[in-house]
Amino acid sequence: MTDLPHSPEQPVVAAKTSRWKTFLKSDIVWSYRHSPVTIVASIVALVLILMAVFAPWLAPYDPFNPATLNLMDGFTAPNSNSFGGRYFILGTDNQGRDVLSTIMYGSRVSLFVGFSATLFAMVMGVGLGLVAGYLGGIWDAIIMRVADVQLSFPAILIALLIFGVARGLIPPNQQESAAIWVLILAIGLANWAQFARTVRGATMVERQKDYVSAARILGVNPFIILLRHVLPNVMGPVLVIGTIGLALAIIEEATLSYLGVGVPPTQPSLGTLIRIGQQFLFSGEWWILLFPAVTLVLLALSVNLLGDWLRDALNPKLR
Binding site residues, another protein, CB under 8 A: 65-72, 74-75, 94-96, 171-173, 175-177, 260, 264-266, 278-285
Nearer to another protein, 252 or 285 (CB): 285
Q: Whole-number minimum distance, CB 294 to another protein, in Å?
A: 19
Judged by beta carbon, residue 82 or residue 304, the one nearer another protein is 82
Determine the Cα–Cα distance for residues 211 and 285; give it in Å rounded to an integer.
64
| Reduced 3-state DSSP string for 54-79 | CHHHHCCCCCCCHHHCCHHHCCCCCC
The CA distance from 182 to 147, in Å, is: 21
At closest approach, how far in Å is the CB of 116 from another protein? 21
Nearest to 105 by CA among 230, 302, 292: 292
Nearer to another protein, 94 or 233 (CB): 94
* Minimum distance from residue 65 beta carbon to another protein (Å): 7
Please count the residues of the chain.
Answer: 319
Residue 153 CB, shortest distance to another protein, in Å, is 23
Contact 247, 309 (CB under 8 A): no
Burial call 68-95: b when 16+ CB within 10 Å, e when fewer: ebeeebbbbebeeebeeeeebebbbbeb
CB of 86 to another protein, least distance (A): 14
CB-nearer residue toward another protein: 57 or 282: 282
The per-type count for the chain, helices as H runs and strands as E runs, is 14, 2
Asked if 94 and 161 touch (Cβ cutoff 8 Å), the reply is no
